[in-house]
Amino acid sequence: MKKIFVSRLLPDAGMELLRNSGFEVDLHAHSDPLKPEALRRRVKDVQGLICLLDDKIDKTLMDAASKLEVISNMAVGYNNIDTEYAASRGIAVCNTPGILTTATAELAWALLFAVARRIPESDAFMRSGKFSGWQPLLMLGGAVSGKTLGLIGSGRIGTAFALMSKGFRMRVLYNGKRNPLLERKLGAENTDLDTLLRESDFISLHVPLRESNYHLIGKREFSLMKTGAYLINTARGPVIDEAELVRVLKEKRIAGAALDVYEQEPQLTPGLRDLDNVVLTPHSGSATTETRRRLAEMAVQNCLEILRGEACGNRVV
């Protein structure tokens, strides 16, 4: 009987599908990831691996799993997997696209407002008992309506995020593949990166992590941004040079940043936690009950389809 290893406890709907799959299932029933060596031991004789974005699935891991037929990532991003090596070994790799688009776009807006209107800071202030009444200069933040929104990446999540701006009557700039929908619905302008950085009040990142996007936003890019600009990252941490980000936030070279993903995830870059012009969330883009349930179902379904020799629409290799 084929065997599947699941690297973390999944939402119930996914576990249920696995229980009824007819395959043998081994589960790491904890919320923390396994260390690489322990993960290698657990995949030794499995055909299916269901993993998460913080499991590093590299050549060493795959070499330890001689029977492996499928790696099913419960995430749309798959930068944690050496897909080239998987392809050379004939191992299928699947992801979970589409499902988390809206949830992630919504979180990007939540972050945008949280940092612009200083929501976490205001909340902490209220709880501290320091509020002594309305004051003209208390907790002033940045306005959103009518401002310029800069979108880096024009794929599914970036598009959903931009379309949600409609009620705020924003000028929308985007950098990435031409997107006729954004142009038609919002009059969005496709610009080069430097123009977008110079002209945007809010810059939101929606690119996958590839070698070409590593530190896409670094010293030079920060120097082009407006002093009143806010940067939002719900994509992948290493897209930003976070040491530089800490420096520009400290110097108030930009107004603020809101991050859901981190360069050294789950570690925070030194200095980040001490700043009050940054809002931090724990990689929660897809963290709605509905979305996580559907992600788990899709990740399991992808794995089962490959193991059963059926067609799977979510293969990346």
Catalytic residues: 236, 265, 283
C-alpha triplet 193, 196, 201: angle, nearest 5°: 145
- Smallest Cα–Cα separation from 258: which of 128, 142, 125? 142
Binding part of the chain for ligand DGY, among 13-21, 71-79, 198-206, 306-314 by CB under 6 A, reads 71-79
Binding part of the chain for ligand DGY, among 16-24, 147-155, 268-276, 282-290 by CB under 6 A, reads 282-290
**Nearest-angstrom CA–CA distance, 138 and 123:** 13
Nearer to ligand DGY, 154 or 233 (CB): 233
Residue of 154, 286, 301, 314 that binds ligand DGY (CB under 6 A) = 286
**Nearest-angstrom CA–CA distance, 75 and 97:** 7
**Nearest-angstrom CA–CA distance, 173 and 182:** 10
Binding part of the chain for ligand DGY, among 72-80, 124-132, 182-190, 304-312 by CB under 6 A, reads 72-80
| CB neighbour list of residue 163: distance below 8 Å, 6 or more residues apart | 181, 182, 185, 186
Minimum CB–partner distance for residue 286 and ligand DGY (Å)? 4
User: Taking CB under 6 A as the rule, does residue 53 contact ligand DGY?
Assistant: yes
Minimum CB–partner distance for residue 123 and ligand DGY (Å)? 24
User: Taking CB under 6 A as the rule, does residue 76 contact ligand DGY?
Assistant: yes
Helix (H, G, I), strand (E, B) or coil at 249: helix
Q: Say if CB 262 and CB 282 are below 8 A apart.
A: no
Residue of 17, 65, 100, 108 that binds ligand DGY (CB under 6 A) = 100
What does the binding site for ligand DGY look like in residue numbers (CB under 6 A)? 53, 75-77, 100, 283, 285-286
